[in-house]
Structure 1
Amino acid sequence: MLKWLAIVLVALLALLQYRLWLGEGGVQEMKEVSGRVEVLETANKPLRDRNARLAAEIVDLKTGLDAIEERARSDVGMVRTDEQFFWVPGVESSEPATSPAPKPGASQ
C-alpha cells in the first residue's frame, strides 16, 4: 500500500513539474511575456519623453507669457510695436527677428 502511495505522489509531482515548466502560465511563457514587455517598454520610452516635453510646454503656456509670445512669433509671425518686420522674398528664416528696430541714422 505504501508503495502505491509513493508512486502516485511521484506521478503527481511529475505532473505539477511539467505544468510549472512547460504548461500554460509556466516558466517558458513567463520568459516570452517578459521579452515582449521589454520590447514594448523600449518602444514607449520616446513616447513618454514626448509626453513629458508636452506637459512642460503646457505648464509654460499656462503660467508664463514668454512661452505664449514665443509661440505667437513662430507660428503666427507676431511682431512687437517697437520692431520693424522686413520680408525678403525667397528667404526662409528659422528664427523670427527679435531685435528692436534700428534707430534712424544708425548704420548697419
Structure 2
Amino acid sequence: MGAYITGTLLGTVFNSLMASAMLAVGWLHPFSLAMAAGTGSASMMSAALAPLVEAYANQPDMLSKIQAYAATSQVLTSADGLYMSLFVGIPVTNWMYNKLKRNKTAPAGKAAASK
C-alpha cells in the first residue's frame, strides 16, 4: 500500500512536470502526449493531462480529442496490463521462484528430519 500511495503522490508530480516539459519543447504532437498521459493511474493521467488541457483550452475540438485519446489510452493500458500480469508476469515469477529455490540448500532441521 505504501508503494501505491508513494507512486500516486510522486507520480502525479513527475507526470505533470514531464508533460509540461515535453509540451514546451514541442517535439511531440499533443495527441501522442495525451496517449502517454493515459498510462498509469487515473490521478497520474489527470496530472499529465492538465498541462495539455491548459495549453489547448482555446481550441475546443483539439481539447476534446486530447481528452479522448488520454481516456482511451487509460482503458487500453489497464486491460493490457491485466493480461500482461496474468499471462506473462505470474508465469515468469513462478519460473524465477522455482529456479532460485532449487539452488538453496535445505535448512539443518529439515535435513535431519528427512534422514
Fold conserved (TM > 0.5)?
A: no
> Which is bigger in relative contact order (C-alpha 8 A, separation at least 6)?
2
TM-score w.r.t. the length of structure 2 is 0.37
Higher helix share: 2
